[in-house]
Chains A and B, each alone.
Chain A
Amino acid sequence: MASVPTSARVVVIGAGIVGNSLVYHLARLGWRDIVQLDKGALPNPGGSTGHASNFIFPVDHSREMADLTLDSVQQYQEMGVFTESGGIEVARTEERMEELRRRMSSAKAWAIDSELLTPEQVQEKVPFLDPSVIVGGFYTSSVGVVDSLRAGTIMRERAMELGALTVVPTVEVVGLDVEEGRIRRVRTDGGDIEAETVVIACGVWSPQIAQMAGAQIPLTPAVHQMISVGPVPVLAEREGEISFPIVRDMDTFCYERQHGADMEVGSYAHRPILHDPEEIPSIEQAKLSPTEMPFTAEDFDQQLEEALELMPEILGDEKAEMRYAINGLLSLTPDGAPILGETPEVKGLWSAAAVWIKEGPGVGRAVAEWMTDGLPEIDLGHSDIARFYPHQRTREHIRARTSEAFNKTYGIVHPSEQWSSDRSSRLSPMYADEVARGAMFFETAGWERPHWYESNARLLEEYGDRVMPREHEWDSRWWSPIINAEHLAMRDRAGIVDLTAFAIFDVVGPGALDAVQRIVVAQADVSLGRVIYTPVLDERGGFRSDLTVMRLAHDRFRVVTGGAHGMVDLKWFADRMPSDGSAQVVDRTSAYSTIGLWGPRARDILGELTRDDISHTGFGFGTCRDIQVGSLQVLASRISYVGELGWELHLPMEHGAKLWSMLHEVGEGHGAVPVGIGVYATTGRLEKGYRAYGYELDSERTIVEAGMQRPKVKVADFVGREAYVKQREEEPRTVLCTLTVDDHTSASGTKRYMLGGEPIVSRDGGPLVDGHGHRPYVTTAGSAPSLGKHVLLAYLPPSEAEVGNQLAVSYMEELYPVTVGSADSTSLFDPDNERLKA
């Protein structure tokens, strides 16, 4: 056994699927002097990898997870540890069948071969399944099982063959030393290791290890129950480990997976059983392994009965015994996504946690790339550890959200579905008034944001069918025609929008200009009082963000960005401040409230409240300055994300409620209405073709592909400049287009409205492939009430990106005709931006 070295280039803590993948990819990318530790013995140190079911269903509604999974499958295949078995998700209800049709959309969007099966077709593949209890199935031939322990051994061995890796098992980490905000040392019961980079890949133990450095990895261990039943004669007759497709019984939240002569039944249906990280037994205390907790049979009885119903012949066999039954521990996070990246608290301390077998090697590769040059090939935006706000890292929040999420593992989750637990964490100053107006609140990063207001229901009569009512329950779930009525009222008169959820931070100091100039694409050296909207790129020229920056003084810039992504942006800026301290980032999110006032009457309304010159000549588009609104001092910024005349009004949080009521009092006379985020984030921006980070924009997209290039590139150097200049010279491989739906009528006669994520295909249903080899899919879908159209954004192959081109969108396994309305950033509504510049 190797002893603990005294220093290392990088220490990877954990030898589960994640740690093993990571050390291999780091070695492959040229890292040397890697030390990998685990407190357990190899090859199975006792973490969640050791008891995993090891099967992989590649189709996921999230592109990020699907891509990580597909990459992992390729890696497992290359290592020779993948066995393709096929897999079927079966539906017991029509509602579930509809969800399976939706999974077909995702399968097509990510180019995964899948098909829907009748109960009889399911039985042909799985003869011991009773077809009378199901209504259909969703079959994916590329589902398979892996040997994750063998894969781990192979990857460690490969790293050792490169002379890059020292593995030290049965050594426990007892401390992490941090000096001046940087990780310096890993202390173990076998000696200390000096290291500038440390990765926590410890699964359910990660929170405790991170805590040693004062960092937080917000996950909780939770129980997943499974049993193994056998020997089953019909399974024993077949050779090999798996010869029948894996069945996911989606409505009972169970799966049945053959394992040689045994059938393994696993469940996500029982009550969520969360564990405190401190309560995980030590290796010595545990009967099987620390993550194989004693089985609690009563929690599983209901699932047994349901499994028996589905497979009576084999599970009902008296001779087939339950030979193994555990409450296996796995990691759950508040939003269900992995926790990857450098911790915001400690430089050089990385997290690679809350990762399942299906995405392990893909995550290992992506994190290794990220650690090497900051550029993972697959966008990890939804998994970035920096995404959490402080309240989201608390034990209570994690417990509440993971408890709620557990049974959604196999659930039917609507794309707009809202959390019900631990709400009302962050309230804007006008919250009480919004409640009085009947706001329907959606949550963003803990903020309660009105999505629409029931008090605006009276507008439905005013606008009649122009609000584009939706007849299907799924299409109208978490939606209201009031959104479209608010939209029309804003376009006709004015809307008042609570934007308190913005993340706001200042870049200050004598070096502020240079620092900002270096981070953003747009020219930052502008006169005081200018507002710039700008992409933020990585070195490869992919989007890291898009945001607005106000120049408030020669040495002060204020960045305003979306709440959901705000903490990641903050870290991105903070990480790029000059080392001499001449510029600093200061978070102002909790200091400022923002109210948007937009529409043709916006100037009339604000004009009644201020003596300052707000005329078009006196207060031009793209400028900001302090004005007096009644007795309040307000930073007004003349920009718009909805394509209307108006301002973002920023002011200290405690004044927010007063400005809100002043605007409403005066606004009423002008027909202004409160407008929710349904308009701000979807209908308003879609009509204007404005792109949103996380939907159209991510690190896999470029400015040119998004159609957002300006005539010139600024001379000053900035992150991604070189790549961007090169991209401008090349033909784009994919082009972001705006499409409109020509006919919504489904086969049953019901009009259907897409919600996002659907594949775009040729008019007759043939697949399209862009220059990256990707299939086009809808990045955002929503109403454009001013146009009377349903609008879709999608990246199309350049050859298809032509205005007037007739294509189709596949929704719930039916085709609907669509037409390309714009093949660049030209908006369908007010293409010359006359309203903005009124």
Chain B
Amino acid sequence: MDVLVCIKRVPDVAGSVALTEDSMDVDARHVGYAVSPHEECAIELAVQVAKATDGAATVLTVGDEDAVEQLRDALAVGCGAAVLIEVEPRRYGPTDVAAAIADVVRDHEAQGRSYGLVLLGNDAADTGDFQVGVRLAYELGRPVVTGAATVEAAGESLVARVEAPEGAAVFEAPVPAVVTVMEGGVEPRYPSIPGRMKAKRVQIETVTPAREPVGSGRVRLHLPPVPPSQVEVLGKGAEAAPAMVDLLERLGVVR
């Protein structure tokens, strides 16, 4: 089964988040770019499902020329082909992104490359819209499972597992389907040097979308207030031990 995995180039934020001057994007000057952990897991799942079913994994992104870096990273860890839907990312809202991806899926199908599974991250790390997966499924008229930790092919259907605090929910969906991925179910792999070399040589398919974007409607981003940090001194030396144990028990670290 051929698998399509959709990723987004986002600022690789780990510590404090800064916004650009116009408050429309996250400032990436100091941190560089990456794909979100959800999408790293989606790539890993795409590679695994493709391998298990003798298919191929294709990676796709909607973004500008710089996003080729993220496509190559995915190629280096096992995807075999890559598609860049070249757009000015700022002008594209979730509706536009879903529509553009759907067009490519249909085009590829017309050319004889149909994707039994389309994987996406659960939500974008920078804008957090939580929409593209569901909209894409709607556009394509396919079932969708959101927030899956793992997904496996089982004959003509797919089994996706969604972890929740209360337990796990297991879904079975007929092929073709759309699944959005939450991190935690698989360990994404790092590239090997031969993988990186192969990735460098892959010709990337560049697509220009036919439809004009409607945009996200976003006015600006706001940073949440910084949570107040409070320091409570539990005690000094051995006297602090009981309070420390209490705290660790409260946190659930020890029982």
Contacts and interface: CB of A to CB of B under 8 A. Distances in A.
B32 A322 contact: no
Contacts of B33: 294
A239 interface: no
Contact of B192 (A301, A305, A318): A318
Given A284-B15, A286-B15, A287-B12, A308 B193 contact: yes
A285 B32 contact: no
A417 B194 CA distance: 39
Given A287-B32, A305-B197, A294 B12 contact: yes
> By CB atoms of chain B within 10 A, which of A284, A288, A296 has the most?
A284
A320 interface: yes
A298 interface: yes
A298 B200 CA distance: 9
B18 A297 contact: no
Interface in B42-58: none
A318 B30 contact: no
A323 B190 CA distance: 6
Interface string B195-213: 1110010000000000000
> By CB atoms of chain B within 10 A, which of A286, A295, A322 has the most?
A322
> By CB atoms of chain B within 10 A, which of A294, A295, A320 has the most?
A294
Interface string B1-29: 00000000000111110100000000001
Contacts of B15: 283-287
Chain A interface residue bracket vs B: 20 to 34
Interface string A7-39: 000000000000000000000000000000000
A282 B14 CA distance: 12
Contacts of B13: 287
A316 B194 contact: yes
B69 A316 contact: no
B191 interface: yes
Contacts of B192: 229, 317-322
B196 A281 contact: no
B31 interface: yes
Nearest to A327: B32
B190 A293 contact: no
Nearest to A227: B193
Contact of B31 (A287, A298, A315, A319): A287
Given A294-B32, A301-B200, A318 B73 contact: no
Contacts of A305: 197
> By CB atoms of chain A within 10 A, which of B32, B34, B189, B190 has the most?
B190
A293 B29 CA distance: 10
Contacts of A287: 12-15, 31-32
Contacts of A293: 30, 32
A281 B190 contact: no
Contacts of B14: 286-288
Contacts of A296: 32
Nearest to B32: A294
A496 interface: no
Contacts of B34: 294
A483 interface: no
A293 B14 CA distance: 13
B31 A229 contact: no
A317 B193 CA distance: 8
Contacts of A323: 190
Contacts of B193: 229, 304, 307-308, 315-316, 320, 322
Contacts of A285: 15-16, 18, 30-31
B72 interface: yes
Given A285-B30, A286-B15, A294-B31, A322 B190 contact: yes
Contacts of B190: 321-323
A323 to B, nearest CB: 5
A308 B29 contact: no
Given A287-B14, A297-B72, A297-B73, A321 B189 contact: yes
Nearest to A314: B193
A279 interface: yes
Contacts of B12: 287, 294
Interface in A258-312: 279-288, 293-298, 301, 304-305, 307-308
A281 B72 contact: no
A301 B18 contact: no
A316 B190 CA distance: 14
Contacts of A320: 192-193
Interface in B28-84: 29-34, 69, 72-73
Nearest to A307: B193
B200 A321 contact: no
Given A286-B30, A287-B15, A322 B69 contact: no
> By CB atoms of chain A within 10 A, which of B16, B73, B192 has the most?
B192
Given A281-B30, A287-B31, A297-B72, A304 B18 contact: no
B31 A322 contact: no
Contacts of A307: 193
B31 A297 contact: no
Contacts of A280: 30
B35 to A, nearest CB: 13
A320 B72 CA distance: 18
A183 to B, nearest CB: 31
Given A294-B12, A322-B190, A301 B196 contact: yes
B103 to A, nearest CB: 29
> By CB atoms of chain B within 10 A, which of A281, A285, A317 has the most?
A285
A321 B190 CA distance: 5
Contacts of B18: 285
A65 B92 CA distance: 56
A247 to B, nearest CB: 16
Contacts of A286: 14-15, 30-31
Nearest to A321: B190
A322 B29 contact: no
Interface in A304-360: 304-305, 307-308, 315-323
A298 B69 CA distance: 8
Contact of A322 (B30, B196, B200): B196
A308 to B, nearest CB: 6
Contacts of A229: 192-193
A279 B29 contact: yes
A190 to B, nearest CB: 14
A340 B179 CA distance: 60
Contacts of A301: 196-197, 200
B48 to A, nearest CB: 15
A304 B196 contact: yes
Contacts of A315: 193
Nearest to A304: B193
A124 to B, nearest CB: 25
A712 to B, nearest CB: 66
A66 B189 CA distance: 42
Interface in A416-446: none
Nearest to A317: B192
A323 B191 CA distance: 8
B194 A321 contact: no
Contacts of A298: 69
Interface in A679-734: none
A585 B193 CA distance: 61
A248 B29 CA distance: 33
A294 B189 CA distance: 18
> Top 5 nearest A-B pairs by Cβ distance?
A294-B32, A281-B30, A321-B190, A287-B14, A284-B16
28 contacts: A229-B192, A280-B30, A282-B16, A283-B15, A284-B16, A285-B15, A285-B16, A285-B18, A286-B15, A286-B30, A287-B32, A294-B12, A294-B32, A294-B33, A294-B34, A295-B32, A301-B196, A308-B194, A308-B197, A316-B194, A318-B195, A320-B192, A320-B193, A321-B190, A321-B191, A322-B190, A322-B193, A323-B190
Interface of A: 229, 279-288, 293-298, 301, 304-305, 307-308, 315-323
Given A279-B30, A294-B12, 8 more contacts: A279-B29, A283-B15, A284-B15, A286-B15, A297-B69, A308-B194, A322-B191, A322-B193
